[in-house]
């Protein structure tokens, strides 16, 4: 269980870094991240990778299979997370409605293809490298990290439910 938590946090952090890099490269007007936490984590990325890792091995066994099924799993998670943000806190952190082949502005084909290719190119190597490191983290560190993460989640969600001000959480 602790390994899955650490994977979630690691890939959420990588997602945060990816969001920052994408905003810089595209010279986005809003360079904030697309998540609800104060910590430098974007949970949609962590949950997306967990969704991919939960796929049966035979769906992740080759580059093209991982690109296809991983991309579909990550897209399904992205859609669900967007819906949960909307339903649970009444906020939108991203909107793909201007992108071709989008589904209710929550997901879109171009980014789904990119996620699939990125997963296929990077996830196997990342898992080989990080899994042993994450598995060696002491339980006490996991416990305290979980407490901090839980406090951030509760406070951030409450803030969003009360204000519905996504800009108030942007960094």
What integer pLDDT is reported at residue 31 of this predicted model?
52
**Contact 146/9 with Cβ under 8 angstroms?**
no
Structure tokens at 147: 């407490």
Please give the pLDDT value at position 3. 97
Residues of the chain with pLDDT under 70: 29-36, 164-171
Task: Give the HSE-up count for residue 61: Cα atoms under 13 Å, Cβ half-sphere.
Answer: 4
CA atoms within 13 A on the CB side of 116: 22
Query: So what's the pLDDT on residue 148?
Result: 95
pLDDT of residue 137: 97
Query: Could you give the CA distance from residue 45 to residue 34 in angstroms, rounded to a whole number?
Result: 10
Phi-psi region of 104 (alpha: psi -120 to 50; beta: other; left: phi over 0): left
């Amino acid at each position: 269980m602790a390994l899955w938590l650490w994977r979630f946090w690691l890939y959420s952090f990588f997602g945060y870094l990816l969001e920052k890099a994408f905003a810089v490269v595209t010279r986005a007007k809003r360079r904030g991240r697309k998540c609800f936490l104060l910590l430098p984590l974007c949970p949609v990325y962590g949950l997306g990778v967990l969704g991919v890792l939960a796929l049966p091995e035979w769906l992740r066994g080759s580059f093209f299979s991982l690109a296809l099924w991983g991309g579909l799993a990550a897209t399904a998670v992205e859609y669900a997370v967007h819906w949960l943000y909307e339903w649970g806190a009444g906020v939108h952190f991203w909107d793909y409605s201007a992108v071709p082949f989008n589904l209710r502005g929550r997901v879109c084909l171009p980014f789904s293809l990119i996620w699939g290719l990125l997963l296929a190119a990077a996830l196997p190597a990342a898992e080989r490298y990080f899994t042993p490191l994450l598995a060696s983290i002491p339980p006490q560190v996991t416990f305290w990290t979980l407490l901090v993460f839980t406090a951030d989640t509760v406070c951030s969600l409450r803030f969003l439910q009360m204000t519905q001000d996504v800009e108030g959480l942007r960094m």
